[in-house]
Structures are given as structure tokens and as C-alpha cells.
């Protein structure tokens, strides 16, 4: 039943926004005045489409800028800022432009938490900063439309800008778990309900900072977290286990990888569907190179997995598993060589050099297993 709730709510939200757009358009100017301005119906549709095309990236930028602004105001430090696949990252004191895309997200702002007691961290403003700025920018635009004289073209753009901002604010504020990633509202609510989860939230951000500096997953200082017990039904606890799984994979500790994947892909796990598929891909790789029983083969070959892997075609771990699968299971060296070429092309602009080294080493291990 839960899987139907999000699509229904999304549909209702789109309907409400459509109604608001029509109401606001009628409030500001009627269609006769649009025609009087020389705007025909075809032009009207074209202007609306163009306005959406311009407003969407601007509001995404505003949203991520909100995380950045409120993060800086509350003591967080900049790590990276992503808009679509372009990533501005800080590495060893220098800003660099890289490329990285995460399925289901159009942007992301990662920051290091302030060095305080976990329970003192101002996580709420950092998480909700994007929502606040989306709403603020929409209200400012609406005020400009009311106060300033504008023609029909600017009116349409302004209204659409407001509605896109309102939409982004609502879909990020309402706590929800999508198949790809959990939104800001859910992150904030989870930490508020379970204050101990702030430790896992901080850890993810600190790891992002270390990866940006060039550390490999296997070099992450995670020893203190290995001895703890985790409730995988809680998002941040599950995320901590995912970091431990990534470290085990980089260290070629494949039995530990399979142990963590089994826990994280359990039905009770809060891990989003996309990441469960990525974890199962890690497990299949571990099975292929360790001559273990291929328990995750059927999952890898499933239609849903293949569709998601197509969307993640620039993800290094996906390319690594595809390479090992082509080489060790399909025995297709030509296909494996093409995948390796794609990997190297993606790796050149990847924001985390340590991950590139790690994944390349795992691919080399698959080659050794072939011999």
C-alpha cells in the first residue's frame, strides 16, 4: 500500500499547483488582456514551457543555495555543491569543477558539520535551508508581481517561478522516502525523533569531506563504529553500515561485504531502493571474484535492476560490477573492454580520486581472477 501513496500525493500536488497557477493567472490578468498584448495561444504555451525550463534550474540552485547559506550561518563548512551533473568541490584548499550525477537528485550541497557535541549541532537549519529559500524566493517574486508593473511575459515567468519554488518546498518538506533518496524533511524528522541519529548524519558529511580530499573508502577512520549495534530501520544507522560496507569492499574483505549487504537489503531496512540495488551489485561483485555462490545473480539480471543500472551508467561502482560480470560470468572480453573505456572516461572527472583508485583496483582484481 505504501508504494502507492507517494505517486498519489505527487499527482494531487501537481493538480493543486495547476489550480493555483490558473487562479493566480486569472487574478493578475485575464486572457483577453493576454490576447490584447498580442500573445496567441501557441505563444502562450511556448512561453510557459520556456518559463518552466528557466525556472526549474534557478529554483534548484536556490534550494541548494539555501542549504549552503544556512549551513554557513550555523557553522558548517563547504565541501561540494552540485547542480545536475556539475560539481564544485573543495579539495586540499582548492575549488575544482568535476562531474557526478546521482539518480533521483538534481542537486546537492554537502558541508562539514561544526565541531560540537552531536546533540548541539544545528542540523535543522542546514536540512531545511533549501525549503526556506525556495519559499522566500517565491514570496519575493510574488511581491514583485504585485508591486511592479510587468508585461504578460514577465507575469507568466514570475508565476511559474513562484509555483516551482512552492512545489520544491513542499516535496522536500513533507517527510518522504523515494526509491532514490530520502528528502530533507525525512532526514530532519528522523533526527528529531531519534536524537542519537545525528551521529550517523554527521559521519556521512565528514566522510564526504574526507573523500573529497582523496581518501579511499578503505582508509576511512571507522573503527569505533564497527563495535556498535545498529537498527537498520533507522536511516542514519543504515547509512553508517553502508559506509562500513564500502570500507570492507575496498579492503577486499568480501565475506564482511556480504554480511553487511544481507543486513542492509533486509525488508526492514530504511535504505532507499536504489541503494539496495547498488549494494546487491557490490555483493554480486564479491561473489564473482571470490568464487562464492552467485546468490545475487538473479537480482542483478532482474528487469528493475537493469533499468536502474541504465540510469546509473556513470556510477563507478555500477561500471565496476558490469565489468566483472561481463568478464567473469559472460566471458565477453570485448564487452568488458568497452565498459573499462567508459569507466576511464567517467573517472577523469569524478570528484573523489580515492574512489577512482579503489574501483580501478577492484576491476584489476577481476582481471586477475580471470587469469
Is the pLDDT score of 358 beyond 90?
yes
Q: How many domains does the chain have?
A: 2
Give yes or no: residues 165 and 33 share one domain. Answer: yes
161 or 291, which is more confident: 161
Say if residue 359 is in the same domain as residue 319: yes
- Burial profile 32-46: b = 16 or more Cβ within 10 angstroms, e = fewer: eebeeeebeeeebee
Range of the domain at 33: 2-76+113-173
Tell me, yes or no, whether 142 and 229 share the same domain.
Answer: no
Distance CA 269, CA 231 (A): 8
pTM of the model: 0.87
Neighbours of 292 (CB within 10 A): 15
Position 9 pLDDT exceeds 70 = no
What confidence score (pLDDT) does residue 92 get? Answer: 75
Q: Are residues 257 and 163 in the same domain?
A: no
99, containing H or E segment = strand 94-99
Longest dimension (CA), the chain: 76
Could you tell me the pLDDT band of residue 18, with boundaries at 50, 70 and 90?
low
Are 137 and 205 contained in the same domain? no
Same domain? 166 vs 291: no
The reply to whether 255 and 359 lie within a common domain is yes
Q: 172 or 152, which is more confident?
A: 172
Mean pLDDT score, 159-177: 88
Give the pLDDT confidence score for residue 32 in this predicted structure.
43
Residues 112, 206 contacting (CB under 8 angstroms): yes
Please indicate, yes or no, if residue 92 is contained in any of the structural domains: no
172-196 mean pLDDT: 85
Q: How far is CA 131 from CA 16, 159, 266, 368, in A?
A: 18, 18, 32, 49
3-state helix/strand/coil string of 78-110: EEEEEECCEEEEEECCEEEEEECCCCCCCEEEE
Place of cell 507575469: 155
Q: What's the pLDDT tens digit per position in 242-252?
A: 999 999 999 99
pLDDT at 24: 57
pLDDT at 350 over 90: yes
pLDDT of residue 145: 86
The answer to whether position 88 is within a domain reads no
Contact assessment for residue 12 and residue 174, using Cβ atoms and an 8 Å cutoff: no
Q: Does 310 map to a domain?
A: yes
- Is a pLDDT exceeding 90 seen at residue 291? no
The residue assigned the cell 530533507 is 184
Q: Is residue 289 part of a domain?
A: yes
pLDDT-based confidence at residue 22 (cuts at 50, 70, 90): low
- CB 234, CB 269: distance < 8 Å: no
Q: Are residues 160 and 244 in the same domain?
A: no
82 belongs to a structural domain: no
Whether residue 365 lies inside any domain: the answer is yes
Between β-strands 77-83 and 107-112, what pairing exists: parallel, antiparallel or unpaired?
Answer: antiparallel
Residues present in the chain in total: 371
What average pLDDT does range 213-237 have in this prediction?
91
pLDDT of residue 307: 85
Note whether 241 and 295 are same-domain residues.
Answer: yes
Rounded Cα distance, 161 and 316, in Å: 35
Q: What is the arithmetic mean of pLDDT over 222-242?
A: 91
Query: With contact defined as beta carbons under 8 Å apart, do 175 and 186 qualify?
Result: yes
Average of per-residue pLDDT values in the chain:
86
Nearest CA-CA partner of 47 in 69, 65, 68, 25: 25
Averaged pLDDT for residues 315-331: 94
Select from 146, 173, 200 the last residue of a domain.
Answer: 173
Q: How far apart are CA 166 and CA 183, in angstroms?
A: 15
Pairing, β 94-99 against β 77-83: unpaired
Average pLDDT of span 342-361: 95
Burial of 312 (0-12, 13-18, 19+ CB in 10 A): buried
Return the percentage of the chain with pLDDT > 90, whole number.
Answer: 55
Percent of the chain at pLDDT above 70?
Answer: 87
Report the pLDDT value the prediction gives residue 117, as an integer from 0 to 100. 57
Same domain, 199 and 150: no
The mean pLDDT value for 307-336 works out to: 92
Q: What is the pLDDT of residue 216?
A: 96
If you average pLDDT over residues 259-266, what whole number do you get? 94
Query: Does residue 71 share a domain with residue 16?
Result: yes
> At residue 34, does pLDDT exceed 50?
no
Query: Which whole number is the average pLDDT over 287-301?
Result: 86
Q: Which of 120-134, 218-232, 240-254 has the highest mean pLDDT?
A: 240-254
- 126-135, 138-147, 271-280, 308-317: range with highest mean pLDDT: 126-135
Q: Are residues 342 and 214 in the same domain?
A: yes
Please check the confidence at residue 217 and state whether its pLDDT lies above 90: yes
Is the per-residue pLDDT at 42 higher than 60? Answer: yes
Amino acid at each position: 500500500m505504501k508504494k502507492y501513496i507517494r505517486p498519489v500525493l505527487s499527482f494531487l500536488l501537481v493538480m493543486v499547483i495547476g489550480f493555483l497557477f490558473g487562479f493566480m493567472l486569472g487574478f493578475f490578468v485575464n486572457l483577453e488582456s493576454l490576447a490584447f498584448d498580442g500573445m496567441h495561444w501557441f505563444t502562450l504555451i511556448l512561453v510557459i514551457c520556456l518559463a518552466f525550463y528557466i525556472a526549474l534550474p534557478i529554483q534548484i540552485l536556490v534550494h541548494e543555495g539555501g542549504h549552503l547559506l544556512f549551513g554557513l550561518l550555523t557553522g558548517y563548512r563547504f565541501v561540494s555543491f552540485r547542480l545536475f551533473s556539475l560539481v564544485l568541490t573543495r579539495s586540499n584548499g582548492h575549488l575544482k569543477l568535476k562531474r557526478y550525477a546521482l539518480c533521483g537528485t538534481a542537486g546537492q550541497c554537502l558541508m562539514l558539520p561544526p565541531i560540537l557535541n552531536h546533540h548541539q549541532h544545528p542540523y535543522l537549519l542546514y536540512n531545511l535551508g533549501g525549503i526556506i529559500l525556495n519559499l522566500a524566493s517565491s514570496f519575493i517574486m510574488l511581491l514583485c508581481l504585485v508591486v511592479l508593473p510587468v508585461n504578460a511575459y514577465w507575469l507568466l515567468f514570475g508565476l511559474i517561478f513562484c509555483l516551482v519554488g512552492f512545489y520544491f518546498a513542499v516535496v522536500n518538506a513533507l517527510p518522504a522516502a523515494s526509491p532514490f533518496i530520502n528528502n530533507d524533511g525525512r532526514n530532519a524528522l528522523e533526527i528529531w525523533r531519534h536524537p542519537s541519529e545525528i551521529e550517523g548524519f554527521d559521519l556521512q558529511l565528514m566522510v564526504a569531506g574526507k573523500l573529497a580530499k582523496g581518501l579511499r573508502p578503505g582508509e576511512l577512520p571507522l573503527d569505533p563504529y564497527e563495535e556498535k549495534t545498529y537498527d537498520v530501520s533507522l536511516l542514519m544507522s543504515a547509512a553508517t553500515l553502508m559506509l562500513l560496507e564500502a570500507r570492507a569492499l575496498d579492503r577486499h574483505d568480501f565475506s564482511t561485504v556480504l554480511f553487511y549487504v544481507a543486513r542492509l537489503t533486509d525488508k526492514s531496512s530504511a535504505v532507499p531502493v536504489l541503494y539496495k540495488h547498488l549494494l546487491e551489485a557490490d555483493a554480486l561483485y564479491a561473489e564473482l571474484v571470490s568464487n562464492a555462490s552467485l546468490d545475487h545473480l538473479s537480482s542483478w539480471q532482474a528487469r528493475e535492476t537493469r533499468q536502474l543500472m541504465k540510469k546509473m551508467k556513470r556510477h563507478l561502482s555500477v561500471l565496476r560490477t558490469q565489468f566483472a560480470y561481463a568478464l567473469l560470468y559472460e566471458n565477453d572480453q570485448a564487452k568488458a573492454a568497452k565498459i573499462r573505456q567508459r569507466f576511464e572516461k567517467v573517472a577523469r572527472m569524478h570528484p573523489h580520486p580515492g574512489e577512482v583508485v579503489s574501483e580501478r583496483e577492484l576491476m584489476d582484481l577481476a582481471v586477475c581472477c580471470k587469469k
